[in-house]
Structure 1
Amino acid sequence: MKRFYWLLSMSAGLLAAPAVAQTTQPTQPPAGSLAGTTPSGPFSLQQAIDYALKNNLGVRQQQLTSELQNATLRQSRAALLPTANLSGTQAWNYGTSLDPLTNDFVSQTIRSNNFSANTQVTLFAGFQLRNTVKRNALDTEASNLDIEKSRNDLSLNVASAFLQLVLAEELVRTNEVRVNSTRQQVERTQKLLKAGAIPESNLLDIQAQQASDELNVITAQNQRDLARLTLAQLLNLPTPTGLQIEVPALADPDDQPLLEADPDGTFQTAQSLLPEIKAADLRVRSAQRSLDIARGGYYPRLAFGAGVFTGFSSSRLARVFNGDSTDAVQLPVFQPGLGGQPIPSQYFLLQPKQAVAEFLPSGFSSQIKDNLGKNLQFSLQIPILNGLQTRTSVQRAQINIQQQELRAEQARLTVRQNIQQAYADAIAAQRRYLSARRQVEALTTAYRNAEIRFNNGLLNGTEFNIAKNNLTAAESTMIQAKYEFIFRRKVLDFYQGRPIAL
């Protein structure tokens, strides 16, 4: 909007006096971010807006920000699910070391493995997890509304730049018509001078006026090129060369009824439609959820966990019977004798061969099976004193709520003031246009009279140029008022929920 009023203010100098060429070039976007090619054919306003919304980097950046917020929301929802992890290690110990499974000191090289699977779920955490999901959902919705606001801002900027270019092209045409008129006047003055009807000073004055008008044409062309560059940058085109627009048929402000001052009604409509106000209200609710999250730090935390684990150690030995046996042994058989004393008999018992037991390294699969262990646990954490961190978090959350409420109120105030200013500017521009048009009609009649008197040698060149410049100034005021009214009217249409169209 500021660029629009800057060009309107420059138009007075373009029509009335030579303007100073602008030397500061607008900032170019990064080369790698430029769109591929300029579309063929002239742009209408709607086509320009649609193309900008598709290719503008600011809108795309806001969309990526929204995607990041969506990822945060998904992560907070996943935090409600149990966690599950698998782990495994393999290690080699040299020299005297502690066996990881038997906890015995051994002086040998040990290869060991440990495997475990664990899961944990939070049963209660002061409702912090659920409130985090609700807060992130509000932030995601607000982020989506930020995209809509970015699109609205870009649409208004494109409409402003589009009208700037329309105004600049009209200024070029107006100044070219004026130069042609001045050239014809110079030719007539030369003929009158040859005929001795006027003094030479009249010719010099009109030639000076021609030089000024030609300079105004060049300045107007420069401003048109700058306006085209501004629009091309908003569309993210690689070059403004070849960018053409469809010049719409714009109704004059006097053909439209006077605006009725009803900014309050427009504001009531706008606050129910504008995404920035909705987003501000959502962030107030999000701040309230942040307060609930902070207060959840006062509550105990209860979690349940379970796991299984096993391992292997190369130093572990197992008793193994290898099949080798000792020799058979004959055992005597006794029988009772006189007096109850046992006496040897002729019989004997043959003790079978016995297997020999050895201690050999235990196998991997058997250790994995034998060393399997399981565990279940409940963990309860009761906050008692944590350096006032929870209390400080609650206080910060309360202050954040107040800040968000002020931002929401500021957003409403800004919209209300913009609407009031747009109404005031539109009504003033419409009234100024009506007054300037009557002035142009009067000064046109005065200029024609002065031209007749100048051609008949009854008016010197200085007085004729004054009459011409007065008409130029009045035309400049009328053109400024026309485009200012059109733009402000479109701003009001936007706040009332109407599409931006010319």
Structure 2
Amino acid sequence: MKKFIICSIAVLSFAFAKAQQTKQWTLQECVDYAIQNNINIKQADINIAQAELDKKDAIGAFIPSLNASASNSWNTGLTQNVVTGVLQTQTTRNSSYGISSGVTLFAGMRNQYRLQRAKMSILASQYNAEQLEDNILLNVANSYLNVLFNKENLKQLETQHEVTRKQLEQTQQLVDAGSLPRGDVLEVQATFANEEQQILAAQNNIVISRITLAQILNLEDFKFFDIADPDLDDPSAFILDQGADGIYAAATENRYEIKIAEQNTALAEQDLKIAKSSRMPTLNAFINYNTRESGQGSFNSFLDPNNPTRQIGIVEGTNQSVVAPNFSTTIGNPDPFFDQLSRNDGISYGLSLSVPIFNGWSVTNNVKRSKLNVENNLLQETQAKLDLKQNIYQAYNDAQGSRLTYESAQKALSARELAYEYAQERYNVGLMNAFDFNQSQAQWTNAQSNLLRSKYDYIFKLKVLELFTGIAPEDLKF
């Protein structure tokens, strides 16, 4: 009883949402929305943007650098007076300014290799994004087909329920007329009630499958979400005519698993070139311009007009005085700011050469690691091709098996339908009891369900093969 109440609530919720929905989504709309809103796709787009920035960094390594510097400092404390030579507590201020520029002239082709690697990394990031889109397409298609299957299953159950309802009315009339025992109508009533439960369960399955698809799309509000009901004809098996080898040949050119593996190998080989370039000398050019100024007063010296000379000694023997100019010193106001900058500036320029000789085997070890990484990526590339081939052959065999199952289900349904019609004729004339007739009807219903299930399974496996050939999402039609 609890299950019946839960199913009833789910069905009422579905019916309410169905009544208010304004749009039915096609497969292409579902795929487009999933690609635009999927978190993994957004992260892949971020990775592409980061790879673009790495490329800009690599380009920037070819451009000369330009940097400016400025400093202004105050020193307070016991320092020597530059005029009197006496230690005294004072505050001095000094500032300096500079502009420097440098460029790498040669680094063992390292900058060129890094630029090439950055371009290859962008391509690898794009391949990863494309592979994610393929995986999302497959998940969306599978969930989309699951919703369609549940809808078709509900239609079949409702059609069969209508047949059972008419049968119940007919049986009730025969029982009332005394042609059939009362047990027959009870048997049909039990079948009718069981079909009602199956219909409720089928309606609930539709709701659940719609929610599952909405979650894959990252829909926040999926109460009114539903999909369009395309007319699915018998599956077209043209893809099987290509054979497993033909599908694999197309997949090696179009599938992103192989492209990603090949690109990773190319990146590893580029890393090896970069590691080897570290063994080469690095030649840089530089030019610097510097100047300074101070807040201290200027040091002035002048001849004392009142006492222009001063004795510094006496000549031995003659006692003649030795004199020298008598200069006095003072500290005046600081020179103008720009005058100091102009007087104190200077330029330095030159070349610097760095030759790696020994760095604790770091360069050698990096080269060895890069070689091992190349070998590892080559193995991964081989493994990716083997996995792809195995997956294609497995998918091809699964599709072949699904086709046989679908064809067998078609034959089984035709046979069960004839058996049901024959049983109905016998039941109508009283040659078959209700229990045996219900068994024939149940077998016919099961044959219909098996055909529907095998049909959708066959369609999905055909679409998997189509994706292996590199079909575009917009070309994946149902």
TM-score (norm 2): 0.83
* Corresponding position: 1:123 with 2:112: no
Q: Is the 8 A contact 2:255 2:469 kept in 1?
A: no
Residue aligning to 2:332:
360
Paired AA for residue 379 in structure 1: S
Change (3 A) 1:477 1:39: closer
Paired residue secondary structure (1:90): strand
Q: Which runs of 5+ in 1 are unaligned?
A: 1-17, 26-37, 330-353
* Corresponding position: 1:469 with 2:442: yes
Residue aligning to 1:66:
48
Distance (Å, rounded) in 2 between the aligned partners of 1:98 and 1:476: 104
Paired residue secondary structure (1:299): coil
RMSD of aligned residue pairs (Cα, Å): 3.1
Distance (Å, rounded) in 2 between the aligned partners of 1:492 and 1:161: 17
Change (3 A) 1:312 1:439: same
Change (3 A) 1:141 1:256: closer
Paired residue secondary structure (1:304): strand
Residue aligning to 1:55:
37
Cα offset, 1:42, TM superposition: 2.3
1:113 to 95, 98, 101: 95
Cα offset, 1:484, TM superposition: 1.6
Q: Is the 8 A contact 1:136 1:286 kept in 2?
A: no
How far does the alpha carbon of each residue in 1:24-46 deviate from its partner, in whole angstroms, 9 at most, with x for none?
A: x9xxxxxxxxxxxx994322222
Distance (Å, rounded) in 2 between the aligned partners of 1:269 and 1:428: 22
Distance (Å, rounded) in 2 between the aligned partners of 1:325 and 1:97: 28
Distance (Å, rounded) in 2 between the aligned partners of 1:393 and 1:243: 55
Residue aligning to 1:418:
391
Q: Is the 8 A contact 1:192 1:455 kept in 2?
A: no
Q: Which runs of 5+ in 2 are unaligned?
A: 11-19, 309-325
Paired residue secondary structure (2:349): strand
* Corresponding position: 1:88 with 2:88: no
Q: Is the 8 A contact 2:210 2:225 kept in 1?
A: yes
Of 50-59 and 121-130, the range deviating more from structure 2: 50-59
Cα offset, 1:326, TM superposition: 2.9
* Corresponding position: 1:326 with 2:305: yes
Residue aligning to 1:266:
247
Residue aligning to 2:476:
500
Residue aligning to 2:293:
312
Change (3 A) 1:214 1:131: same
Paired residue secondary structure (2:352): strand
Change (3 A) 1:147 1:243: same
Cα offset, 1:51, TM superposition: 3.0
Q: Is the 8 A contact 2:237 2:462 kept in 1?
A: no
Paired residue secondary structure (1:467): helix
Distance (Å, rounded) in 2 between the aligned partners of 1:293 and 1:105: 59
Higher helix share: 2
Residue aligning to 1:275:
256
Distance (Å, rounded) in 2 between the aligned partners of 1:68 and 1:435: 53
What pairs with 1:168-183 in structure 2 (closer than 5 Å)? 168-183=150-165
Cα offset, 1:48, TM superposition: 2.6
Change (3 A) 1:320 1:150: farther
Q: Is the 8 A contact 1:176 1:217 kept in 2?
A: yes
Distance (Å, rounded) in 2 between the aligned partners of 1:418 and 1:458: 54
Distance (Å, rounded) in 2 between the aligned partners of 1:124 and 1:302: 5
How far does the alpha carbon of each residue in 1:250-282 deviate from its partner, in whole angstroms, 9 at most, with x for none?
A: 2214x7679336111111112112233222211
Cα offset, 1:95, TM superposition: 0.4
Paired AA for residue 442 in structure 1: A
Change (3 A) 1:328 1:299: closer
Distance (Å, rounded) in 2 between the aligned partners of 1:428 and 1:160: 18
1:243 to 216, 225, 231: 225
Q: Is the 8 A contact 1:179 1:214 kept in 2?
A: yes
Residue aligning to 1:397:
370
Distance (Å, rounded) in 1 between the aligned partners of 2:279 and 2:87: 47
Change (3 A) 1:40 1:387: farther
* Corresponding position: 1:184 with 2:163: no
* Corresponding position: 1:289 with 2:270: yes
Paired AA for residue 296 in structure 1: S
Q: Is the 8 A contact 2:160 2:445 kept in 1?
A: no
Paired residue secondary structure (1:92): strand
Change (3 A) 1:246 1:328: closer
Residue aligning to 1:158:
140
Paired AA for residue 260 in structure 1: D
